[in-house]
Structures are given as structure tokens and as C-alpha cells.
Structure 1
């Protein structure tokens, strides 16, 4: 009789975890192309201010939108982490179970399962694994940190990664 494969670990949803999730799964591009939209908004606002008879408030409003857009790009990670820290799930303990069916995440506030059959690919990063999966025709991402996975669990994920990424 085959023994079922199951790996279980627990971790806390804290600031360090959220920072790792964002930095590993959301690559940040810091080129000038990213700031193009904010530059266009600021230039358009200045054109309104200097060369049109439109009320100055409209021009300053468009300039302020451009500045706000640039700040939102620059502070994207701290803003995302702050929103996660303010959520009711912050600080709660999560039980993670990896088995033949998929990845089960269970906490007081949320219980979710990502099935292996719904995963399109798994990418390994220096600190964890990014799970790309589809639920109800929507592409989603999940992140698993290596810090709370045993070496056996990591080997099992790599085995699944090889089978998913080959097909």
C-alpha cells in the first residue's frame, strides 16, 4: 500500500513575509519607461498652465496627478505591504499542506487549495516558488517561501515543477 505524500508547515503572515512575497513575485522595473505616463501627465498639466486660458486649478490638478502616479510607482512595495499589514489576516498563523492534490493554505480567515491540475507553471526564485495557476479562466499567482518548506517538500515541488514546465 502506498503511503500518501503530505508536507505540512506553519508560518505567520508578518511584514517580513509580505516583503518577501512582493519582492520575489512582483518584479519592479525602474526604467524611465515606467515613469512615462506620469511624465506625460505633468507635461500636459504644464501646457495647460502656460499656454491655455483654462483655469489654473485644472492644470495644477493634472500636474498633481502626474506626481501622484510617479509616487505610486516609486512606493509600490511599501504601499502594498502596508495594505497587507492592515488586513485582518495580518499576524495570523497559516498552515500550509502540500500533497498529491495540490497546495492547501489554511488560516482562521482563509482556506484555499491550489490544485496541481490548475497550475500552468512553477518558477523557482532565490527565496521561494511562484505558482502560476488558473481558476475560473483567470490567471493567478501564488508564492511559497523556501524558509518554511522542508527539503523534502522543496524536492517534491521541484519534481512537480519539472513535470508542469515540460508539458
Structure 2
């Protein structure tokens, strides 16, 4: 390519942005398998309470853990968005630069670059792009990976197309 492609965009880290990020990137489903651990804890606590001579406080503690786990799974989205809203980055303006090297995210609190060579997958979602990338190897030699979400609402059509053209399958 003789022409240098560089695109910039900006967005604010607000509740709407965090909610969109969660809904587009979360893999949590509310089925029986998701609540399995909570159900086991509750049943085990009831077993301790009614079938053993163990102190009932221990049984009620295990039952409470099961109920807490159920609540945490049920309200996972709300809890995640609330934690993001309490972070120091919440409410700040983020500048996004997409160029030949990769994707640069800059704000007062963070400067992060995802290189195109580290990108392992780019998936289109209903409202944006989910970019999976390699972080290198851990001490144990296991490959570490992460993912980042970019909303279509802050990208121009040219920037969106440029990102998709840098997907590993198209190289």
C-alpha cells in the first residue's frame, strides 16, 4: 500500500458504552449449567443442616453462599457495569487511533496499543467488533489472550472496513 491509512475516533466511557460492551462481548448464558455451582452449594448446605449433627451455623453459611452465587450469576451484567462505573476511568474521553501498526487507545488513565500481528480474531457483533489478541506467553509457557470491543457507533465506514481488512483470515 502506498497510501497511509489512519483513522481517529473518540468516545466517552459512560454507562451506555459499558452496557454495550458487556452485551456484545459476554458469553454468560442463564441456563441450568450456569447455576450448577450455586445449586450444589445450596443442596450441600441443606444436607448438612438436616442430615448431619454439624453446627447449623456452618450449614446456613453454605446455604448463604449458594444463594449469593445465584444472585451473582443472575445480576452479573448489572454488577459488571456498576464496577466499571466506579472505576477511575469512568466518564473519561478515550481517543481511538487505527493505523497501519494497529489500534491505539489513549485516555488520561490508559495508553494501550494492539498490534495487528497480535490480533488472532476479529468478530463482527450486532453493534461492533470484538477483537481477540495475544498477550504473549505466561511463566508456565501457556499462551495468554484477551479481547477488546469497539463500537460501530464511533467508527467511520472506512475505519470499520480497514479493521476488517486486517483480520487474520484476510491476510
TM-score, normalized by length of structure 1?
A: 0.95
> For residue 123 of structure 1, what is the aligned residue in structure 2?
123
Q: Which residue of 2 aligns with 1:165?
A: 169
Q: Offset at 1:2?
A: 2.9
- The equivalent of 1:151 in structure 2 is 157
1:39 corresponds to: 39
Q: Which residue of 2 aligns with 1:61?
A: 61
Alignment partner of 1:105: what SS?
strand
Q: Structure 1 stretches (4+) deviating beyond 2 angstroms?
A: none
Counterpart CA distance in 1 for 2:163 and 2:120 is: 14
Alignment map for 1:24-103 (pairs within 5 Å): 24-103=24-103
Alignment coverage as a number of residue pairs: 165
Unaligned runs of 5+ in 1: none
* 3-state SS of 2:41 partner: helix
Following superposition, the deviation at residue 27 of structure 1 comes to 2.3
Structure 2 unaligned runs (5+)?
138-143
**Structure that is richer in helix per residue:** 1
Q: Give the Cα separation in 2 of the matches to 1:165 and 1:37.
A: 38
